[in-house]
Amino acid sequence: MTKLGTAFSEGIIAFIATNIDDIIILLIFFSQVDVNFRRRHILLGQYLGFAAITLASLPGFFGGLVVQREWIGLLGLLPIAIGIQQLVSRKEETTTVQTVSSDFTQSTPSNPVLSLILSILHPQTYKVAAVTIANGGDNISIYIPLFAGHDLTSLGVILSIFFIMVGVWCAIAYFLSLQPTIANILSRYGKAVVPFVLIGLGLFIMYERGTFTLLPWLRS
């Protein structure tokens, strides 16, 4: 597999593994859409929150510029540890999304640029962004080892995949919000798969970085 192909695969696997539970939150948001809480607030808030998580994970890339690639792969133990921890604990997590009420009805300006700016500055957008950051805080420990060991081009591929997938995730959640039966199945079984995907991702990171060659019996 080429370097860019590897980056493409890692980007998709990492995003899906770390954001399956985010679809449930997006489903909750889309079920609350009304005159003051629009779909654009959810989309923009999701992008703002995810951008903050990504920026917090970039030290992994810059650290990868000075640390030997094989040793960087040891960071793959982080997603493995998280996956094992989830398998061991199996604690039920309940996500509570508080509805923020507005005391005014905001009219939509005709100027699309002004409308976009007002949507970005809208409190509902920041509510979605805050929930995205809070729910995705653990993702940083996954993305740091993912970014490490890649060059700038591969990092660009991964980030492009990430931000494309944010839009895809919002679209999936919106359409699932129209199908209660499918949403219920995803809520019941989706989280059960996440630990195994995280463990597999960690092993893949270690394999791709050549970390297993550090083991004495694999050097010869």
Q: What is the pTM of this model?
A: 0.67
- Are 35 and 118 within 8 A, CB to CB? no
Tell me, what's the pLDDT at 187? 62
Beta carbons within 10 angstroms of residue 59's beta carbon: 13
Tell me, what's the pLDDT at 96? 45
Instruction: List all residues 6 or more positions away from 168 whose beta carbon is below 8 Å from its beta carbon.
Output: none
> Quick one: DSSP state of residue 35?
S
Tell me, what's the pLDDT at 105? 43
- Helices (H) and strands (E) counted in the chain, each on its own, are 11, 0
Residues of the chain with pLDDT under 70: 1, 63-69, 90-121, 137, 182-183, 185-191, 216-220
Short-list 1, 12, 13, 4, CA closest to 203: 13
User: Where do the structural domains in the chain lie, given as residue ranges?
Assistant: 9-89+109-212
